[in-house]
Amino acid sequence: MITHHPSDELLAAFTQGELTASLSIAVAAHNELCPVCQEKVEKLNAQHAQMLFDTDNETVDEASNDIQEVELSWMSMIDDITDDDSQSLLVPIDIKSVQLSYDKVQLPRALSNVSLKKWSKLGDVSRARLELEEEPIRSSLLDISPGGVVPLHTHKGFELTLLLDGSFEDDMGTYHAGDFIWLDKSHTHSPRTTDGCLCYAVLDDAMEFKEGFSKLFNPIGSFLY
Amino acid sequence: MINSPHTVQGLDTHGNTNTMKDAQITQQLQQWLIAVANNRDKRAFAQLFSWFAPKILRYGVSHLNSSANAQELLQDTMTNVWKKAHYFNADKGAVTTWVYTIMRNASFDMLRKMQTQREEMLSDDIWPLVEAQTAQEGEYTDHLMQKEMKRYLSLLPDAQQQVIKGVYFQHLSQEELATQLGIPVGTVKSRLRLALSKLKQKMGGKL
Ligand SMILES: [Zn+2]
């Protein structure tokens, strides 16, 4: 049962194509599992379409003597487009599966054409970065093995975690597949998983480890970013 | 983020005329798009093009920062409208919503191409135009067929859709359907024949 959803602001920005690819993927992957947000996005699509298209200020902004020229260029574009009479055919999507520490798991459709870098492992966590080139924003898949714990940390920027498979707990509660968890500086937590889980994480800065002992884990702070 | 003065349809202060006009436009756009889907109708496409072009250009200029980019967006968007018209499903929403989705996707991919060195098109995975159709373990069967069937069905005139749905989805006999629709059995038969031959044509003999 999904209990954590993207905010309405985020859904609106998503619908308008205003989020980075990494966050768009996060919202899309959540929506693949969440009919509630999916429906909201469909409504938003219709609203934005209406705002944009159902306006009466129908004018071509160019001065009137340019109109003929504009129409000529449109005519040639129309000819150009309709010259090719073929229709697109559905290409079945190639859904990727990944072998994790605890199971083999299917990735969401939103990730089907994104390249993953190699997996690397530190402690209980294996990480594969996505090749999206959106520095300083980074996104990764995190495979946390059964019994795994991420030491208590906070975030310098924001941390978005989308739980794709399995479950984990922190001091704030238990999370299940589909949960979309947005944290920032004001949150400190230490996620742990009993049976293992797969997360999609987006961060815009390294994690900062809190407690004296956890400082030993500093490398993991930049590893997870 | 959506605090525009004209967000919600129906809260229309000018009486009914606008709503009526909107309804007419909605219907007109749909007729054109269906003509493109069914008959590759170039004149209908030109009509759609002229209706959407100024709006797409306006959006392109404000989102992509140059009129050259706006032109490219127009070309990309309308090419997809031409090539994908047969995937439009009127049950899922208006033509404007469908075109908006295509335009937003094209614009997203263009922006990414401008900002990164990467070439892959992510938008259709993030905002799928057609519901997920995966080639997973032989699942390519009834369910998919039914979905595909429904999409083609939505391209037929209402009267023809009615008979197909009645006979093939609700499993009514032709007599029962005739009674239910209040038309002669002969009409049901002829509509059914027409609808089937159109469907066959659309589906490339897969029926
Ligand atoms: Zn949701």
pLDDT higher at B181 or A143 = A143
Taking an 8 Å cut-off on Cβ atoms, the answer to whether B97 and A49 are in contact is yes
Taking an 8 Å cut-off on Cβ atoms, the answer to whether B93 and A134 are in contact is no
Residues B72, B98, single domain; the answer is yes
Does residue B37 fall inside a structural domain?
A: yes
Residues B30, B61, single domain; the answer is yes
> Taking 90 as the threshold, does the pLDDT of residue B80 lie above it?
yes
pLDDT confidence of residue B193: 82
- Taking contacts as CB-CB distances below 8 angstroms, the residues of chain A near B55 are 52-53, 55
pLDDT digits (tens, 9 = 90+) for B38-48: 999 999 999 99
Residues B22, B112, single domain; the answer is yes
Ligand 1 centre to CA of B199 (Å) is 37
Place of tokens 């002669």: B184
Minimal-distance CA residue of chain A relative to B72 = A77
Instruction: Note down the domain range covering B194.
Output: 134-202
pLDDT confidence of residue A213: 42
Minimal-distance CA residue of chain B relative to A9 = B1
Handedness of CA B87, B89, B95, B98 (dihedral sign): negative
CATH number of A97-224: 2.60.120.10
Reported ipTM:
0.86
Mean pLDDT of chain B: 80
Nearest by CB to residue A78, choosing from B46, B86, B132, is B46
Does residue B11 fall inside a structural domain?
A: no
CATH label of the domain that carries residue B183: 1.10.10.10
Query: Is the preceding omega at residue A92 within 30 degrees of 0, hence cis?
Result: no
Q: Angle formed by the axes of helices A8-15 and A35-53, to 10°?
A: 50
Residues B22, B99, single domain; the answer is yes
Q: Does domain A8-82 have CATH number 2.115.10?
A: no
Q: How far is A51 from chain B (nearest CA, A)?
A: 6
Does residue B2 fall inside a structural domain?
A: no
Does residue B166 fall inside a structural domain?
A: yes
pLDDT confidence of residue A222: 59
Point out the domain boundary residue: B106, B126, B146: B126
pLDDT digits (tens, 9 = 90+) for B118-172: 778 899 899 988 764 443 433 334 455 556 667 777 778 888 888 877 776 666 7
Average pLDDT over residues A204-225: 54
Mean pLDDT of chain A: 84
pLDDT digits (tens, 9 = 90+) for B172-190: 778 888 888 888 888 888 8
Taking an 8 Å cut-off on Cβ atoms, the answer to whether A46 and B83 are in contact is no
pLDDT higher at A134 or A43 = A43
Would you give the DSSP letter of residue B29? H
Nearest by CB to residue B108, choosing from A17, A32, A78, is A17
Taking an 8 Å cut-off on Cβ atoms, the answer to whether B2 and A12 are in contact is yes
The tally of domains found in chain B comes to 2
Residues B110, B86, single domain; the answer is yes
Ligand 1 centre to CA of A14 (Å) is 13
pLDDT confidence of residue A139: 93
- Taking contacts as CB-CB distances below 8 angstroms, the residues of chain B near A86 are 83
Identify which of A42, A70, A25 has the alpha carbon closest to the alpha carbon of residue B108.
Answer: A25
Residues B117, B155, single domain; the answer is no
